Amino acid sequence: MEPSKPPKIVCFMCNWAFCEEEISVPYNVNIIRVMCVGRMDPALVIDTFINGADGVLLVGCRPPDCHFVNGNLHAERAVKMLKKLLALTGLEPERLKLMLISPLKNKGFSHYAKEFSVEIWKLRNPTLGREGLLANLKAAKEAASAFRLRVLLGREKELTEFMNAYGEKIPEEQFDALLDDIVRAEFIRYKIHYLTKIKPRSVKELAEILGIKPSAVLRHITNMRRKGMMALDHVEGYTPLYKALEVQ
């Protein structure tokens, strides 16, 4: 992310969204064709950021043109979640963009690619250092690969449009708040996991780094110990130090 160079952009494009001939793009935009934009695993998108992309553009078909009924809407949900996650890492959520374009009526891909490049160019001053950002992104990637978040994402349509196992229908706003909570919790847990993997740390130390209350950290640690993600390493004086365990 050097300011002098144009931003590196990776574009995951639906196989069906554009004719191949129509795609002529600025050289800083790399296109990777996938079967459906809904196919993009959230963890894979974060991985792209980890590997040095300045912006990720997801291109799919505008409803109702999706070849896979509602793959584009699945992508929309994933992007909503990813934006929340990116905001926590300190990376601007605007770096991720989902565009749903009609294969029949569009201005040509280069138009959209240039537009996005300019948007990213304007953003180009990450507040965190490269190291801190990378650590955050790695935690975010773990969170995005985690069971809890993925179940919630996969079940969103079911929960908000039909009902859960108890026959309750969850309103969209409530679901959104729930998603917010879980994204935050999962991100913090994996951040703790990442930090304690480097060396054993105390609750107080972790709370300082993360900028949250020690009680909240302790709650997460208890939870993670139960899941077998963490263990007590040793006690220094009266302070217990925790270390991360490899998750199977």
Partner 1 sequence: MTEKLSQEVRKLPPCRAACPAHVNVQAYVALIQKGKFKEAVEVIRKDLPFPAICGRVCFSPCEDACARVNLDQAVAVRSLKRLVADIEHEQGRVIAKPVPKKYSEKVAIIGAGPAGLAAAYELSKLGYPVTVFERMAEPGGMMRYCIPDFRLEKFVVANEIAYIKDLGVEIKTGVEFGKDITLESLKKDGYKAVFLAIGTQLGMKLNVPGEDLDGVINAVDFLRAIALGEKIAVGERVAVIGGGNTAIDAARMAKKLGAREVMILYRRSRGEMPALPHEVELAEKDGIKFYFLVAPKQIIGENGRVKAVECLRMRLGEPDENGRRRPIPIAFSEHQYEVDTVIPALGQMVETSVLPPELLSKEKRGPSLQVDPLTLETNIPGVFAGGDVATGPASIIEAVGAGRRAAVSIHRYLRGWDLRKDRDGERIEETTWVKDWRLLEKKERRYDAPIEKPHLSFEEAREYLERLKRQARFEAFRCLGCGPCAECLASMELCEGDKAVVDEGKCVGCNICAVVCPVEAIKKNEKGVAHVNEDLCKGCGLCAARCPERAISMKKLSDEQVLTMVLTALKR
Q: Sketch the per residue contact string, 128 through 157, with partner 1: x for CB under 8 A, - otherwise.
A: -----------------x-xx-xx-xxx-x
* E strands, 39-94, in order: 55-61
Contact assessment for residue 116 and residue 144, using Cβ atoms and an 8 Å cutoff: no
Q: For residue 234, which of 191, 201, 189 has the smallest C-alpha distance?
A: 201
Buried b (16+ CB within 10 A) or exposed e, 117-133: bebbeeebebeeeeeeb
Min separation Cβ 74 and partner 1, Å: 6
- Tokens representing 191 are 């951040």
When asked if residue 8 is in the footprint of partner 1 (CB under 8 A), the reply is yes
Q: Among residues 162 and 168, whose Cβ is nearest to partner 1?
A: 162
Contact assessment for residue 109 and residue 103, using Cβ atoms and an 8 Å cutoff: no
- Tokens representing 78 are 């994933």
Residue of 6, 67, 80, 121 that binds partner 1 (CB under 8 A): 67
Number of residues that make up the chain: 248
When asked if residue 165 is in the footprint of partner 1 (CB under 8 A), the reply is no
Q: Sketch the per residue contact string, 219 through 238, with partner 1: x for CB under 8 A, - otherwise.
A: --------------------
Give the total of residues touching partner 1 (CB under 8 A). 46
Catalog residues that contact partner 1 under the rule CB under 8 A: 8, 10, 12, 15-16, 19-21, 30, 32, 34-36, 38-44, 47-48, 51-53, 63-64, 67-71, 74, 78, 103-104, 145, 147-148, 150-151, 153-155, 157-158
